[in-house]
Structure 1
Amino acid sequence: MSKTTYINEKKEPTYVQGIDSEASSSLDTLTALIAEDHGHEIKLRTMSWQKAAWLLAGEQVCLAIMAQSWSLSVLGWVPGIITMVVAGVLFWITSITMHKFIMKHPQIKDICDFGYYVFGQSRAAYIFTSIMLLANNILLIGFHILTGAKVINTLSDHSLCTVAFSAIATIMGIIMSLPRTLHHVSFMSMFSAACMALAITLFLVFAGLEEAPLYGYTGNYPSAGPVHTYAFPPPGTSWVACMNAVLNITFLWVPQILFPSFIAEMERPQDFPKSLAVLAAISSVLFIVPPAVGFRYLGQYATAPAFGSLSNPVWKKASFGFVIVPTLIIGVIYANVTGKFIYARVMGSSRHAHSNTLQGWAVWVAIMAAVWIVGFVFSEVIPSMGDFLSLLGAAFDSFFGFIFFAVAYWRLFRGGLFAGVGRSVMTVVHGLVMACGLFLLGPGLYAAVEAIIADYSGATTPAFTCANLAI
C-alpha cells in the first residue's frame, strides 16, 4: 500500500479574498489538471455538464422522496412546506458557494480535499472528513441494499429468506459498480431517474384512485379516523418526532458530499452551475409536489415510504417495483465515489491508478466488493435504517450541507463580508447556514440518538433475518 499523500500546498494558487485577481491562476491550474488527465489511459475528466446533470438527477431522484409525505404528516402543512422551501433555497446557495470555492482550488477531487482546504489545509480536518465520508457512504450503501431486499420481498411475496435477497442486491451492486468513471455511471443515472419518476407517477395515480389507504403507523384504516390533513403538528406529537421529520427533509436536500467528486470528473468544471440549475428545477417539483399530493390522499396514514400505505397490493407492487432500479444505481454512485477515495490511497500516483493494468483492475474490483460487503453487513445488523438515516442527517449533513459551506464562504470573502448590500445579505444568509448546521449537530443529533435508543428498547429485527420485510 502506498503512503497516503495530501495535496501539494505549493501548487495552491494564492487567492486574495473577495478579489478575482487570481482567477487566471486558478484557470491555468485547472487547464493543466485536465491536460494531465487526458494524457492517461483511463480518463476521468470527461463529463459534459449535461452528463453531470443526469448524474445529479440520478443520485437525487430517489426513494427518500417517498418518505416526505410522512414528514408532512408529522409536521403539518405549514412547518412542513416551509422546511422544504428553506432547505431548497439553502441547498442552492451552499452549492454555489461550494462551486466557487472549488474553482479557486481546482485540485480538489472530493469532499475530503474540500475539508482540507476549508479548514486551513489541516491534515486533521482531512482525516476527520475522510472518516465521515466512508461512514456516510457505506451506511447509505447498506440502506440501499436493505431497500433492494424490501422491494424484492414485496414483489415476490417473500419467496426467499430476506438475507438471501440482500445478498442478491449486494452481488448486483458489485457488478454494476465495475465501471471506473462517473461518465459511464451517468448513463445508468438517466435510467434510474426515469424509473423513479415512473414509480412516483404510478403512486400518485393509485393514491388518487383508491377510496382510502390501508395502513398507517397509528393503525389500519379507519382506526385513526377518516383521512384528513392539518396545518400544524397534531396534538401529542413529540419534539423527537418533529425533529426526525425535519432531518428526513434535510437529508433529501443535502447531497453535496458527492458534488466535489462530480465536479472533479467534468471536462469543464466551470459549467457545474448549469448542471445544478437542472437539478434544482427537478428537485423543486419532485421534492414538494408528490409529497404534498401523497399527504393530501394519505393524511395521518402516511408511511415512509408512502407506497406502504396503498391498499391494493397489485398497485403497491406495480409502483414500488420500479424502485429497484434507482435503489441499485444510487448505491453504485456512492460506491464509485467511496471506491475512488480508497483506490487513490492504495495506488497513489503509480501507473496502475490511471491505466488498464491487471493489478489496477484487480484492486478496483476488490475495493468494490469490500465496500458492498461491508454495506451488506450494516444492512443486516442495524435494526432501523430509517433512524440511522436521521443520525446521518444530523451528524454528517450538518457538516457536509451547512457548516463546511459557511466556513468556505468566510474564507472566500473574509476581506469584505459586508462590502455592499448583496454581499451583506449573503453574509447574513451564510450565518443562518452555520446556525442550521450547529442546530442539526446539537438538538438534531440528540433527537436521532433518542429515536435509536427507543428502537433498541423495543422489538427489533434480528441480525441476518429471514423475516418478511415487505412493505
Structure 2
Amino acid sequence: MSLLKTHPKELDTDSEQEKQKSVVYDENADVFGNEEGHDIHYKTLSWQVVALLMIAEIVSNGMLSLPSALAVVGIVPGVILIIFLGSFALFTAKLLIDFKLNHPEVHNMGDAGFIIFGPIGREILSAGTIVFAIAATGSELLSGQQALSTLSDNGLCAMVLCLIFACAAFFVALPRTLDKVSWLGLASVVLILIAGIVAMIGIGIHPTPGRTVQATVPQTFYEAFLAITNPVFAYAGHFMFFILISEMRRPQDAMKAAYCLQGFSTLFYVVFSVVLYVYAGSEVASPAFFSLPEKWAKAAFGIALGNFLLAAGLYSHTASKLIFVRFFRHSKHIHTHTVLGWSIWIGLCFITMAIAFVFSIAVPIFSYLIGITAALFASWYTYGLAGFFWLHDAYHLGDGMNTLKRRWVMTTISLLTILAGAFVCVAGTYVSIKLIVQAYQSGLVGKPFTC
C-alpha cells in the first residue's frame, strides 16, 4: 500500500525489493527541524497521546446524529455504512500518514496541496482547512450551548451561554504546543465514553413507547444521502492529522494512533447508534441526547460538556496553528518566547474563536452551513485527497508510469478514492443547499442574535 522514501541504492523496480524498502524520515527536514536548545519544543507527543487527541476531536458531537441516520435507512444498511466508512477512513489515514513520512516538511493540508497542485493548491487547501476548522469550532460551541441550556433549564439566554462556553474554549486553545493539553485528551475521551454509556442506560431504562424499529427503510436518493452525510462526516478529522503528526516524537508511529482511533470510533459509533435507535425508535432525535428523559439528558450533556470544550479548543488551535506556522516557519518566533510571537498567537486564537462564536449566533442557517463546509472540504480531506497522495508519490518516488502500471490495483483504488471524494462533495453540497431552501420555505430559520 505504501511507497516510502528509501536510500538511493534501494530504488529498484523489482517488487520483492520494493517490499523490503525501509522508511528514512529526515528529522531535520520536518517543519520544526532540530529543536535542541530551543525554548519551545513541539515534537513531544507520543502516539498514545495523539490517539487520544484524535478520538477526542472526532468522537465528539458527531456521534449524536448517527442514531437518526439509522432511523432513516434502517439498522442493517446503517451499521454496514458506519463500518465501511470507518474502514475506508483507516485506509485513507494510511495513505495520508505515508505521504507525511515521505514529506517531513508537510505541516498541514496546504503544504500537501503545494506539493501536489502547486501554489494555487496550497492556498485553496489552506483556506479550506481554516474555514472547516472554524466551522467545526462553531459546531462544538453550539453543542456546548445546548448542553448548558439543558443543564440550566434555559436559565440564561442562549447567546450568553454560547459566549461563556466560547471563552472557556479560547483558554483551551491557547497553549502553543499540544502536549500542554494532552491530559485533557484522556479526560475528554473518558467523558465522551461515559456520556455515551449513560445515554444508552437512560434510553434502555426509559424506552420510547410504541416505537418503530426497522431493519431497512426504502428511501429516495435525497433522503438516503441526507442520512448518509451523518456517518460520512462523523469521521471527518483527517484535516488535523498532519498538524498532530508534526508534533510527534516519532511520526513513524502515527499509524498506531490511527488504528486506535478508527477501532474505537467505529465500535463506539455502531454500539451507540444501534442502542439509541432500538430503544428510541424512528422518532430518535438529533442530537440523540434529546431523546432521553430530562434527568438522563442532563447527565449525558453534563458529562459530554468537557469533550465539547476540548474539541472546540482543538479546532480553533488547528486554524490558528496553520496560520502561525505559515507566517513564522523557520523564524525565531516559532521556538522562542517573543512578544511578537505570543501576541500574534493569542490574537489568532481569539480571532478564530470569535469568528466561530459570531457565526454560530449571528447566522440563522449556521448549522446548515456546517454541512456545506463538511461536504466541500471534509469529503476531500478525509477521503478524496488520499488518492492524490498515493498517486503522486508512486509516480515521483517510484518509476513514473511504470510504477502506476505495475501497481495497478492501488492505482485503481486511488482513482476510485478520488471519485468517492468528488461524489460526496457534490452530493453533500446538493443535499445541504436543498435543506437550506426547505428550511426557509417551512419557516424553520430563526433570526440572528436571538435567545
Output the TM-score relative to the length of structure 2.
0.90
Which of the numbers 367, 384, 387 marks the counterpart of 2:348?
Answer: 367
Q: What is the distance in 2 between the residues matched to 1:78 and 1:32?
A: 45
How many angstroms apart in 1 are the aligned matches of 2:445 and 2:301? 24
Distance 1:132 1:22 in 2: 37
Partners of 1:30 and 1:107 within 8 A in 2? no
Deviation at 1:416, TM superposition (A): 2.2
**1:62-211 matches, cutoff 5 A:** 62-119=60-117, 122-211=118-207
Is the 2:49–2:185 Cα contact (8 Å) retained in structure 1? Answer: no
C-alpha distance in 2, partners of 1:94/1:39?
36
Cα drift, residue 17 of structure 1 = 9.9
Q: Percent identity?
A: 27
Question: Residues of 2 paired with 1:106 and 1:406: CA distance?
Answer: 19
Q: 1:417 maps to what in 2? A: 404
Show the counterpart of 1:9: none
Match of 1:461 in 2: 446
Aligned-residue offset at 1:407: 1.0
8 Å CA contact 1:47, 1:265 repeated in 2 = yes
Cα offset, 1:26, TM superposition: 4.7
State whether residues 247 and 393 of structure 1, in contact with CA within 8 Å, keep that contact through their aligned partners in structure 2.
no
5+ long unaligned stretches in structure 2: 1-6, 396-401
- The structural deviation recorded for 1:37 is 2.6
1:264 paired to 2:246: yes
**Of 336, 347, 358, which aligns to 1:355?**
336
Change (3 A) 1:127 1:148: same
Comparing 186-195 with 25-34, greater Cα deviation is found at 25-34
Within 2, Cα distance between the matches of 1:261 and 1:150? 29
The CA deviation at 1:66 is 1.9
- The aligned residue for residue 273 of structure 1 is 255
Cα distance change on mapping 1:106 and 1:16 into 2, 3 Å: farther
Opposite residue 291 of structure 2, the aligned amino acid is: S
The alpha-carbon distance between structure 1 residues 24 and 382, as it changes in their structure 2 partners (threshold 3 A), is: same
Specify the code of the residue in structure 1 equivalent to 2:429: L
Deviation by residue 1:249-297 (Cα, 9 ceiling, x = unmatched)? 1101231100000111111100101111111221121111110111111
Distance in 1, Cα, partners of 2:366 & 2:21: 44
Task: Say if 1:240 and 1:450, in contact at 8 Å, map to a contact too.
Answer: no
Post-superposition, which runs of at least 4 consecutive aligned residues in structure 1 deviate over 4 A?
13-26, 29-35
User: Please, which of 419, 430, 443 is the counterpart of residue 414 of structure 2?
Assistant: 430
Local SS of the residue matching 2:322: helix
- Give the direction of change, closer, same or farther, for the CA distance of 1:196–1:357 in structure 2 (3 Å limit): same
Q: Tell me, yes or no, if the aligned pair for 2:173 and 2:313 is still in contact at 8 Å.
A: yes
Look up the match of 1:255. 237
Task: Tell me how far 1:183 sits from its aligned partner.
Answer: 1.4
In the alignment, which residue of structure 1 is the partner of 2:311? 330
- Please, which runs of 5 or more residues in structure 1 have no aligned partner? 1-12, 214-225, 467-471
In structure 1, the residue corresponding to 2:249 is in which secondary structure? coil
Whether 1:307 aligns to 2:305 is no
Q: Out of 360, 364, 368, which is 1:387 matched to?
A: 368
* Closer, same or farther: CA 68–271 of 1 in aligned 2, 3 Å: same
Change (3 A) 1:459 1:28: closer
Q: Which amino acid aligns with 1:462?
A: K
Displacement after TM superposition at 1:388 (Å): 2.7
Contact 1:16 1:22 in 2 (8 A): no
Q: CA deviation at 1:85?
A: 1.7
Flag the 1:346–1:107 CA change in 2: closer, same or farther, 3 A. closer
Question: Could you tell me which amino acid in structure 2 is paired with residue 90 of structure 1?
Answer: F
Asked if 2 retains the 8 angstrom alpha-carbon contact of 1:257 and 1:401, the reply is: yes
Aligned counterparts of 2:305 and 2:156: Cα–Cα separation in 1: 17
1:448 partnered with 2:432: yes
What is the identity, as a one-letter code, of the residue corresponding to 1:449? I
Q: Partners in 2 of 1:179 and 1:271 — Cα distance? A: 24
- Call closer, same or farther: CA 1:425–1:350 in 2, change over 3 Å: closer
Q: How many residues align?
A: 435
**Offset, 1:178:** 1.4
| Helix, strand or coil at the partner of 1:460 | coil
> Do 1:103 and 1:270's aligned partners in 2 also have CA atoms closer than 8 Å?
yes
Take 1:439 and 1:280, find their aligned partners in 2: how far apart are those partners?
A: 22
How much is the aligned-residue C-alpha RMSD, in angstroms? 2.5
* 8 A contact 1:248–1:390 mirrored in 2: no
2:57 and 2:311 in contact (8 A); partners too: yes
In structure 2, the partner of 1:295 is 277
| 1:141–1:334 CA contact under 8 A, matched in 2 | yes
Residue 205 of structure 1 aligns with an amino acid whose one-letter code is I
Are 2:398 and 1:400 aligned?
A: no
* Closer/same/farther in 2, CA of residues 393 and 359 from structure 1, 3 Å limit: closer
Q: Output the TM-score relative to the length of structure 1.
A: 0.86
| Contact 1:88/1:284 (<8 A) preserved | yes
Partner of 2:34: 36
Partner Cα separation in structure 2 for residue 204 and residue 436 of structure 1: 33
Q: Do 1:116 and 1:126's aligned partners in 2 also have CA atoms closer than 8 Å?
A: yes
2:76–2:216 contact (8 Å) kept in structure 1 = yes
State the Cα deviation string for residues 42-89 of structure 1 (Å, max 9, x = none).
111111111111111211221211210001001112321221122111
Distance in 2, Cα, partners of 1:288 & 1:53: 19
CA distance in 1, matches of 2:278, 2:28: 49
Residue 373 of structure 1 deviates from its aligned partner by 0.4
Deviations for 1:381-437, whole angstroms, at most 9, x for unmatched residues?
Answer: 232444333222311122112221111111122442353xxx544333333322211
Q: CA deviation digits over 1:83-109, x for unaligned, max 9? A: 112211110111001111111111111
Q: Report deviation, 1:33.
A: 6.1
> d(CA) in 2 for partners of 1:16 and 1:463?
60
